Amino acid sequence: MSRRTLQFPSWLPIDPYILALIGTVMVAALLPARGTAADVAGGASTGAVALLFFLYGARLSTGEAMEGLKHWRLHLTVMICTFVAFPLLGLAARGVVPVILTPQLYHGLLFLCLVPSTIQSSIAFTSIARGNVPAAICAGSFSSLAGIVLTPVLAAMVLGSSGGGFSADSLLKIVLQLLAPFLAGQLLRRWVSGFLTKNKKVLGYVDRGSILLVVYTAFSEGMVRGIWHQVSFVRLLGLLAVEAVLLAVMLSFTWYGAKRLGFGRGDRIAIQFAGSKKSLAAGLPMASVLFGAQASLAVLPLMLFHQMQLMVCAVIAKRRSRDPLPAEDARISVTHDGGSSAEPEAAVR
């Protein structure tokens, strides 16, 4: 008798990394770090965040980034979607407080709107949809690079001291824990890029493991301080509904807005996938620096939105892949094997 394995529908990507994040949250709820253990976890989390951004800097090719500037209209469009349209929608969502969202959940939603775009999942879905993959690569990279500076600056402007502990001192922490390691990675890239390329798979586990440590530390501290007693199941449903509307608006805005600006099909696909997403890998470490003890609630909207965007964009990408491919897009479209490019481990960013 043949053995049958459990498989999820191909149109419903259940990201294993999201399951790992959920498991980490459950461990933090059952076994939160206290006392000396909390101090050790906090120190390790700080070091992990610095390591993450050092690796981000060491991996970013300055030459490729400069080459991508040639398509400046597309990159500017993605940047406007990520750091202007999203924050404006986040500010407009203030109207659902306190009827649907608590102030704490709203601050997390607003932080979600300030986080940079993804890289891997934007590339994967653009490839599946037969869009302009090189443009998606550059757009995601520029967004992530700009987010290191723009996200904390925008957070200071729109959140201020009401952001669950955010203060001007957080900007100094951003410089020391995020920007300085990133710049160090850029400066040392010449000497470490070969090692990073050779050990890419192992370092991928380092990336994901570091983020899990950040999540455990944030949610553990939230449990000790009793923050999770402020959230009810009804509030979580309300948050999901608000995020569904937010994603739908941005998917429509990026697709039809790009058409109005005169972009071709391939570019519109890259703009839609890069301009409608938010990076979990960049947002979680930033939240741990910006929000302190309130980080567990601050990252909850981002974690939920991340899985939602993967599921919805997977459906859209596969439908787009069946569209007729215009001749001009066929010349610039870079296609890969559909199955390998959409691996959840790559999509987490």
- Stretch 142-151: mean pLDDT, rounded? 85
Q: Considering the domain boundaries, does residue 75 fall inside one?
A: yes
Give 349's pLDDT tier (boundaries 50, 70, 90): low
For 231-261, the pLDDT digits (tens) are 788 999 999 999 999 999 999 999 999 999 9
Q: Considering the domain boundaries, does residue 347 fall inside one?
A: no
Give 51's pLDDT tier (boundaries 50, 70, 90): confident
For 285-296, the pLDDT digits (tens) are 888 777 766 777
Q: Residue 262 corresponds to which amino acid?
A: G
- Stretch 150-175: mean pLDDT, rounded? 69
Tokens 């000396």, residue located: 36
Q: Considering the domain boundaries, does residue 275 fall inside one?
A: yes
Give 82's pLDDT tier (boundaries 50, 70, 90): very high
Q: How far apart are the first and last CA of the chain?
A: 41
| 42-46: Cβ within 8 A, 24+ apart | 42/217, 42/221, 44/213, 44/217, 45/213, 45/214, 45/216, 45/217, 45/218, 45/288, 46/177
Q: With beta carbons less than 8 A apart as the criterion, state whether 129 and 320 touch.
A: yes
Q: Residue 246 corresponds to which amino acid?
A: L
Phi, psi of 184 (to 5 degrees): -60, -40
d(C-alpha 54, C-alpha 194), whole Å: 15
- pTM for the model stands at 0.76
- Stretch 176-186: mean pLDDT, rounded? 82
Q: Considering the domain boundaries, does residue 274 fall inside one?
A: yes
Give 328's pLDDT tier (boundaries 50, 70, 90): low
Predicted local confidence at residue 78, as pLDDT? 95
Q: Considering the domain boundaries, does residue 135 fall inside one?
A: yes
Predicted local confidence at residue 254, as pLDDT? 97
Q: Considering the domain boundaries, does residue 7 fall inside one?
A: no
d(C-alpha 29, C-alpha 223), whole Å: 6
233-260 and 103-114 helices, crossing angle to 10°:
30
Give 334's pLDDT tier (boundaries 50, 70, 90): very low
- Stretch 61-89: mean pLDDT, rounded? 83
Mean pLDDT of the chain: 80
d(C-alpha 58, C-alpha 220), whole Å: 31
| ∠ CA 194-119-91, rounded to 5° | 140
Measure the CA dihedral 87/92/93/97, to 10°: 130
- Stretch 30-45: mean pLDDT, rounded? 87
- Stretch 45-71: mean pLDDT, rounded? 75
How distant, in Å, are the alpha carbons of 197, 211, 244 from that of 189?
11, 22, 39
Pick from 124, 96, 69, 60: nearest CA to 314: 124
d(C-alpha 339, C-alpha 64), whole Å: 26
- Stretch 304-331: mean pLDDT, rounded? 80
CATH label of the domain that carries residue 197 = 1.20.1530.20
Q: What is the DSSP string of 184-233?
A: HHHHHHHHHHHHHHHTHHHHHHHHHHHHHHHHHHHHHHHHHTTGGGG--H
CB atoms within 10 A of CB 234: 9
Predicted local confidence at residue 259, as pLDDT? 95
Give 92's pLDDT tier (boundaries 50, 70, 90): very high
* Helical H segments across the chain, by residue range: 16-30, 35-59, 62-68, 72-80, 86-92, 103-114, 120-128, 133-158, 168-174, 180-198, 200-224, 233-260, 265-275, 280-291, 295-320, 327-332, 338-341, 344-347
Q: With beta carbons less than 8 A apart as the criterion, state whether 250 and 92 touch.
A: no
Q: Considering the domain boundaries, does residue 194 fall inside one?
A: yes
Query: Residue 229 sits in which domain range?
Result: 16-325
For 105-144, the pLDDT digits (tens) are 999 999 999 999 987 788 888 988 989 888 887 888 788 8
d(C-alpha 157, C-alpha 83), whole Å: 13
Predicted local confidence at residue 22, as pLDDT? 82
Q: Considering the domain boundaries, does residue 338 fall inside one?
A: no
d(C-alpha 182, C-alpha 144), whole Å: 11
Confidence check: pLDDT of 274 > 90: yes
The token pair that represents 348 in the structure block: 């987490």
Q: What's the structural domain count of the chain?
A: 1
